[in-house]
Each structure stands twice: as structure tokens, then as C-alpha cells.
Amino acid sequence: MGQYGQGELQKIAKAVNAAGKLLSASSISATTEEQPKTETRMFKFGELQVEVTPEKANIGAAIGFVFGILSWQIAQGIQSIPESSLEYANDNALLLAKSLRGALLAVFYSSTILSVFTTVGLLLLGRQLKSEGK
């Protein structure tokens, strides 16, 4: 077993080549008969799959824009509260309130920046999908 001394390797190679040529010829003719499929883009989030279309990308961009505006307004509202108006029972509570204020400002401003990037990205993706669809 495993020893081929009488030209069996050449016979096997010829048989595999012939079978490969037959398979490739039949697969080419089968694919020319089918209609070309339109390629769809899918985003997958675990079990959830969402088909991305130009309309959905534009809707997502609008939602991202509104979220960015809300985040910006909340951050501006927090920033407009003067620190002198913060009155607490002791200094520890005042320090905690100031650090919480800083953390909230950082969260809402970073949320605004991320929403701007998302909005721009979704607009560009929608434009790209629209041009691919033509």
C-alpha cells in the first residue's frame, strides 16, 4: 500500500485532471445560465442581521444627527450651571458633585463627537450604496 511503481501516479493524475476539466466546464456553463444576483450588505450584531440600504443609512444618519444635537444641548446645560451655585452639606459631597459634573461633561461631549462621526459615516455609506445600485 502506498507504492506505485508501474505508472499508477500518472494514471491517477490524468484521471484527476480530466475530472477537473469536466467539473470546471460544467460549473461555468451553469453559472452563465443564472441571472446575476444583486449583492446586499448585511450588518450582523450577534443574532440580529440588518440589511443595509441607502434609505436605512440615511435614516440612521438622521437619528445620529438628532442624538448629537441632544447630547450637545445636555452638555451645554450641565456646563451652564455655575460651580458657585453648588451647595452641599460638606466638602466631600461638593468634590463628588464636581467630579460627577466633569464626568458627565466628558460623556456627553464624547457622545456628541461619536454621533458626528457616525452621521458622516452613514451618509457616506448611503451615498456609496446608492452609486453601487445604479
The answer, yes or no, to whether residue 127 has pLDDT greater than 80, is yes
Q: Name the band, by pLDDT with cuts 50, 70 and 90, for residue 3.
A: low
Helix (H, G, I), strand (E, B) or coil at 40: coil
Query: Residue 4 has what pLDDT?
Result: 63
- pLDDT tens-digit profile of 62-115? 999 999 999 999 999 999 988 778 787 788 888 888 899 999 999 999 999 999
Count of CB atoms situated within 10 Å of the CB of 88: 12
Mean per-residue pLDDT over the chain, rounded: 83
What is the pTM (predicted TM-score) of this model? 0.62
- Residues β-bridged to residue 43: 50
Segment holding 41, helix H or strand E: strand 41-45
